[in-house]
Structure 1
Amino acid sequence: MTNKSVGRFPDPHDFKVPKELEGWEDMYPPQRLFSQDRAEWEKRHFWFQDKIHAPEPLYPLDDIFQEAWQIALSQYTTRVFCIPPAQGIAQRIVGCYMYITPVEPPPPEVIGKKAELFGKRVPYVFQNYNKLWEHWYDRFQELGKEMEALKIPSEFDEFVPEHEVMPIPKGYTQAQDLIESFNTIISLIFKAWQFHFQYLNLAYLAYLMFVDTARKLFPGIKESTIGKMVAGADVSMFRPEEELCRLSRLAMSQSPVSKVLKKDVSAAEKIKELQGSEPGRMWLEEMERIKNPWFYVSCGSGWYHYEGSWVTKMDVPFSYLKSYVERLEKGEKIERSLTSISEERDRIVAEYRALIKSDDDRKSFDDAFNVVRSIYRYAEDHLFWVEHWLHTIWFRRIRDFGNLLAKYNVLKQPDDIYLFNRFEVPMLLEDLATSWALGVGAPTRGKYWQEKAAKREKILEAARNWHAVPALGVPPTEVSEPFTVMLWGITTETVSEWLKGADVKGAGELNELKGFASSAGIAEGPARVLKLLEDIVKIQPGEILVAPCTNPSWAPVFTKIKGAVTDIGGLTSHAAIVSREYGLPAVTGTGVATSTIKTGDIVRLDGSTGIVTIVKRAK
């Protein structure tokens, strides 16, 4: 139900994008766009920009992750674990940006059917999660190995080799391998995202159930206090940063190594110098040993091909290593204090548990707490293995296709393959395979594909320079879909803040923002607004991080900053989780922080109330 009394955002069916974006619709499949034939249904929903998964304009092939999660997230809610009354999350693209909406609840009779299945299926997962996680992990590793093993030719043979003809002809050629491999990798990435959401909805549901239990037993308890009760997790997503800390301490035990790591030169130069000494070679051997999987972590979110990973952009982890070594020399602690965070968690849980008077209430609390402590870590465990480890493999294999297309001048650059969506790339591959099969001198439509790619690159550049509106349509009366609240942090109050930000003449007129009280504590300091991935290296000790959302690969900077503020994200967003794990104050889901706060502004954030105040504007 929409809430017309609180104002509205532009109608998605009448909304006009800048003329520089003309032709953007052709980049995406028709089902990804708003349409007149679905207008009645679309107008009943409130659409907000997904700054967690798609904060930047979407390259057509990068959009495949979004397509995959729309199906995966939604089906586990609606068809598998049947969470009543929630439905799925729908997506639409406008001007190269993605907008999403929680689908309206189903009829009462469907909710009743779902409730029966929910009661059978969900408790089973909660009771058997540890065993189920092991099974999930093994299957996902196999999927990654299958993607690694795909046959993608680096070039076409002039003639099929003899062993493929005699004594028994193989029956097909590299051309078929090429086409089959692309079809397979598409299938694998969709399947990977099916695995991604296998238990994620339930992990968030377990958190919601624990929050509900805590609120009933302890009226007035703060969200930040509840967050502390589930902090202190040993999960895969923090392992890359832990390995960097370990490598830094190892370097400190070998003076020649630490001296090299502190130099202001490229990672390649440091590696070359380290290879020249025995301590350096030993240190490099240790780094190589843990590279796969722990350097298979995106330099950003894992959603965009141009972000790269530590393993492909070694300057990134080496910049963190340099900072760690310098801090160790000053006697600073570089690791997150897991022990103190866990002790604080146990203390708070014990204090509140002691307030419970009845055995039944105590059992309700214990059951909810044990479930959330067990399955909640899936939120950060799966994150590493899917968005980082597997996506690193995906990007490398897709580049193999791009290299082949560029080698034969179908495309100018390998990464131009991302300017075509998953339905279009097979046309490019078929064009190349046909040209090879026809024989010497048979042309491809390379000129056509290259002109299309160049036009689309210009459209995406224009989209980057466009400040897209945060939402479309009429805000809802109430937001209850669990993912919307817990992950994106979208509530009726959040939307009101967005409207407030949209109504003022300039962002500079807002001096106070409200968001989720995601991690307790108060911090004040100069703001560092991060809108571009490469700006992460500019963060200075003691600053307040302000970003659309935070990326998991930023974990190493969380030991430098005082606190974090985000545009989007709820109590289970990465910014919220990682801030609690590092004991930092955080306010998430403010809606307009990056457009209101400027780098150098002195800001004060209260992670217990969710209020961010601009104390003094930078000159």
Structure 2
Amino acid sequence: MTDVAQKTFKSFPKPSDLSVPAGAEGWEKIYPYYLLFQGNRMEEDDAKFWFCDSQHWPTVFRPFETITGEYAVKCLGQYNARHLLIPNANGIEFKIHLGYLYMSPVTVPEDQIAARVPHFEERAGYYFENWDRLLEGWHGKIRATIAELESLEFKRLPDMVPLEDIHSGKAKDGSEVLMENYDRLIQLCYQTYQYHFEFLNLGYIAYLDFFNFCKQSFPNIPEQSIAAMVQGVDMDLFRPDDELKKLAQLGVELGLQDAFADTDDVAGTLERVGQTGQGEQWLEAYREAQHPWFNFTVGNGMYGHDKYWIEHQEIPLGYIKDYMRRLDGGQQIMRPMEELITERERIISEYRELFSDDDQRATFDAKRQLAATAYPYVENHNFYIEHWSMSVFWRKCRELSRMLFEEGFFEEPEDMFYLGRNEVRDVLFDLVTGWGVGATPTGPSYWPQEIRRRRGIVDALQTQRPQMALNTPPVEITEPFTSMLYGITTEQVNTWLDVDGDSDPNVIRGMAASPGTVEGRVRVVTRADQLGEVQEGEILVASVTAPSWGPIFGKIKATVTDIGGMMSHAAIVCREYALPAVTGTGTASTTLQTGQLVRVDGQQGTVTILED
């Protein structure tokens, strides 16, 4: 048996191998059939390698929340397979198993790759040649979608049709608006994710093209050096955090620190600020910063339970308070932009000078410039989609859920999230039918008990962490997006499986995502609401970090995640904050414990346990 063959002998569990947590029996019935591994396709599905996307969906789905997984992964795939015809990459199949999302890249048959090349070059080339104009149009489309989402209303139906509708001969009772608004809400979410991926894969492609050119020209170049050549850019995703820093600086200048003694009391804090001599100046700046920058979640926008600053202002006020404390202590709170740019230009210059051929140097310049042009979208889209757009979407969903709660369908105001989105359409028709004929709808006697059952299932599923992957990995993982975004490489998968059987239990290996070596105490964070526990100088360890965790990056020494590649949010944000990072470890958040002393080597991609 060859070495390669031996390395594929070990396998992750099959879906059927995994036990169902006690209390979660019947979990399959709360999700659509097409999201499940089906028994009559077991042989086909077991032959595929699936990895868990805990980077975007780290917790169990409530039924309604599968909408983000379905729309995001479907729309990602359409741009590979139908819009751009990327020669070597189609989309990604996805399934939900025991509440978590698993993905399997769809390969392009070898004999079809060549035929796709001219189509890809024409289509991608047009976008790259017209980037600024098309991106400006994208911003217009997103803002129009957000405005339409904001316009949707979900009000209780009146006791009678307005008299003016009788006089005008309208001949409709208004219930059609409720149902149309719901259908439009769902379609606008779908539209949002269609727009999400219009430029995203192109951003990855531009970077990958530059990456491959550098690797071919300089075989020993570190991957971090390639990433550094596009770092130090002003990105909209960092704007919410920058707004808080500016407010903190203004607060210190105006001497407002004492007013922030209890930021959990939002009204009291703002009142205390207003009572100071120059408080109105700060409050005006605070109000201006809110739109749109407070449409920002401490999560990642993929779940209905994510908390957004605009609705939970104790969160940004708490960050502002901490920034003021750090300013008073003489700390630098702004991103080290000058250092990042200086380092970027130094690395670019050094590698440019290694070319002896002017044509090669010109090619290097062109590819680097294209990567630098497209690179900001990889992060910026997050603010406009996951944060701003989804802030409005989830707010409208909660508005609808509260209305149905008031109509007696639910026991809790947000119970709608335990229904699938198509079930909600049935609920609305049940509601308008009962209202329309003057009878009691069926839902109030059906859904409370059913939701209690489903809540129990979801809670039980939450007690079990997902598998990193399922089934036997391929001999070589070659799909570029899987590697760049998720850190799923042949080497890393073999590390997870301990193929060689000689791993050091005190060393966790991952991807060298952001350079630097530091030692510090671990702080394991599994939920966004634990961020307040992070102490100065700790090492943040998480399944995944969200781009919105920026306000704590000034506190920590380094970041370690379970999943993520060189172009993951964690890697990009850490490089922009000049923090060491190791991503794609697979097990760091479950292996390490809060309080352990570790050494993080972001250059080698290792985390070494020094002391329990």
Please state which band the TM-score falls in when normalised by the shorter chain. Answer: over 0.9
1:157 aligns with 2:158: yes
1:425 aligns with 2:420: no
| Distance in structure 2 (CA, Å) of the matches to 1:84 and 1:123 | 14
Is the CA contact (8 Å cut-off) linking 1:519 and 1:579 kept in structure 2? Answer: yes
The aligned runs of 1:253-332 (5 Å cut-off) are 253-255=253-255, 257-263=256-262, 265-277=264-276, 279-332=278-331
The aligned runs of 1:379-398 (5 Å cut-off) are 379-398=378-397
Partner of 2:214: 214
Partner of 2:607: 612
| Distance in structure 2 (CA, Å) of the matches to 1:123 and 1:280 | 52
Is the CA contact (8 Å cut-off) linking 1:224 and 1:519 kept in structure 2? Answer: yes
Of 96, 101, 106, the residue aligned with 1:98 is: 101
CA shift for structure 1 position 519: 0.8
Is the CA contact (8 Å cut-off) linking 1:130 and 1:374 kept in structure 2? Answer: no
The aligned runs of 1:114-513 (5 Å cut-off) are 114-153=116-155, 155-166=156-167, 168-255=168-255, 257-263=256-262, 265-277=264-276, 279-439=278-438, 441-500=439-498, 510-513=505-508
Of 539, 543, 557, the residue aligned with 2:534 is: 539
Task: Give the letter for the 2:83 counterpart.
Answer: V
| Distance in structure 2 (CA, Å) of the matches to 1:284 and 1:425 | 41
Of 569, 572, 575, the residue aligned with 1:574 is: 569
CA shift for structure 1 position 223: 1.2
CA shift for structure 1 position 338: 1.2
Is the CA contact (8 Å cut-off) linking 2:204 and 2:375 kept in structure 1? Answer: yes
Change in Cα spacing, 1:515 to 1:278, as seen in structure 2 (3 Å) is same
Deviations 1:139-191 (A, max 9, x none): 110011011111321x211111112221x222323311111111111111011
Task: Give the letter for the 1:465 counterpart.
Answer: T
Q: Secondary structure at the residue paired with 2:76?
A: helix
CA shift for structure 1 position 18: 2.1
| Distance in structure 1 (CA, Å) of the matches to 2:537 and 2:589 | 18
Deviations 1:487-518 (A, max 9, x none): 111012221222239999xx9x8211111111
| Distance in structure 2 (CA, Å) of the matches to 1:420 and 1:556 | 34
Identity score, percent: 38
| Distance in structure 2 (CA, Å) of the matches to 1:343 and 1:540 | 30
Deviations 1:352-410 (A, max 9, x none): 11111111211221111011000011011111000000110001111111011000111
Is the CA contact (8 Å cut-off) linking 2:541 and 2:561 kept in structure 1? Answer: yes
| Distance in structure 2 (CA, Å) of the matches to 1:489 and 1:5 | 18
Partner of 1:68: 71
Task: Give the letter for the 1:243 counterpart.
Answer: E
| Distance in structure 1 (CA, Å) of the matches to 2:56 and 2:587 | 17
Change in Cα spacing, 1:450 to 1:2, as seen in structure 2 (3 Å) is farther
Once the two structures are overlaid, the 10-residue window that deviates more, 206-215 or 170-179, is: 170-179
Task: Give the letter for the 2:348 counterpart.
Answer: V
Is the CA contact (8 Å cut-off) linking 1:68 and 1:190 kept in structure 2? Answer: yes
CA shift for structure 1 position 122: 1.1
Q: Secondary structure at the residue paired with 1:523?
A: strand
Change in Cα spacing, 1:385 to 1:191, as seen in structure 2 (3 Å) is same
Deviations 1:586-615 (A, max 9, x none): 111010000111111111111111111111
CA shift for structure 1 position 83: 0.8
Deviations 1:36-57 (A, max 9, x none): 3333432231111111111000
Q: Secondary structure at the residue paired with 1:157?
A: coil
CA shift for structure 1 position 450: 1.0
| Distance in structure 2 (CA, Å) of the matches to 1:6 and 1:259 | 63
CA shift for structure 1 position 3: 7.9
Q: Secondary structure at the residue paired with 1:591?
A: coil
Is the CA contact (8 Å cut-off) linking 1:579 and 1:586 kept in structure 2? Answer: yes
Change in Cα spacing, 1:502 to 1:557, as seen in structure 2 (3 Å) is farther
Deviations 1:457-495 (A, max 9, x none): 111111111123221111111112222111111012221
Runs of 4+ in 1 over 6 A off after TM superposition: 1-4, 501-504
CA shift for structure 1 position 277: 3.8
| Distance in structure 2 (CA, Å) of the matches to 1:5 and 1:338 | 44
Task: Give the letter for the 1:375 counterpart.
Answer: A
CA shift for structure 1 position 4: 7.0
Task: Give the letter for the 2:215 counterpart.
Answer: R
Q: Secondary structure at the residue paired with 1:156?
A: coil
Once the two structures are overlaid, the 10-residue window that deviates more, 371-380 or 285-294, is: 285-294
Q: Secondary structure at the residue paired with 2:65?
A: coil
Task: Give the letter for the 1:301 counterpart.
Answer: N
Is the CA contact (8 Å cut-off) linking 1:525 and 1:542 kept in structure 2? Answer: yes
CA RMSD, Structure 1 to Structure 2 (Å): 1.9
Change in Cα spacing, 1:312 to 1:36, as seen in structure 2 (3 Å) is same
CA shift for structure 1 position 2: 9.7
| Distance in structure 1 (CA, Å) of the matches to 2:581 and 2:58 | 20
Once the two structures are overlaid, the 10-residue window that deviates more, 493-502 or 194-203, is: 493-502
Task: Give the letter for the 2:216 counterpart.
Answer: K
Q: Secondary structure at the residue paired with 2:63?
A: coil
Partner of 2:597: 602
Deviations 1:517-547 (A, max 9, x none): 1111111111111112211111111111111
| Distance in structure 2 (CA, Å) of the matches to 1:502 and 1:538 | 38
CA shift for structure 1 position 13: 3.9
Is the CA contact (8 Å cut-off) linking 2:21 and 2:463 kept in structure 1? Answer: no
Is the CA contact (8 Å cut-off) linking 1:227 and 1:519 kept in structure 2? Answer: no
CA shift for structure 1 position 558: 1.0
| Distance in structure 2 (CA, Å) of the matches to 1:189 and 1:141 | 13
Change in Cα spacing, 1:570 to 1:513, as seen in structure 2 (3 Å) is same
| Distance in structure 2 (CA, Å) of the matches to 1:444 and 1:281 | 52
Q: Secondary structure at the residue paired with 1:466?
A: coil
| Distance in structure 2 (CA, Å) of the matches to 1:250 and 1:294 | 17
Deviations 1:543-585 (A, max 9, x none): 1111111111101111111111100000011110001101111
Partner of 2:47: 44
Aligned residue pairs, count: 609
| Distance in structure 2 (CA, Å) of the matches to 1:123 and 1:415 | 46
Partner of 1:550: 545
TM normalised by structure 1 equals 0.95
Task: Give the letter for the 1:293 counterpart.
Answer: P
| Distance in structure 2 (CA, Å) of the matches to 1:184 and 1:263 | 41
CA shift for structure 1 position 26: 1.2
| Distance in structure 2 (CA, Å) of the matches to 1:274 and 1:258 | 9
Task: Give the letter for the 2:164 counterpart.
Answer: H
CA shift for structure 1 position 16: 3.2
Deviations 1:45-84 (A, max 9, x none): 1111111111000111111011001211001111111111
Is the CA contact (8 Å cut-off) linking 2:8 and 2:473 kept in structure 1? Answer: no
Q: Secondary structure at the residue paired with 1:239?
A: helix
Task: Give the letter for the 1:430 counterpart.
Answer: F
Q: Which runs of 5+ in 1 are unaligned?
A: none
| Distance in structure 2 (CA, Å) of the matches to 1:14 and 1:595 | 21
Q: Secondary structure at the residue paired with 1:99?
A: strand
Deviations 1:183-232 (A, max 9, x none): 11111101100100001111111111111111112221111111211111
1:20 aligns with 2:11: no
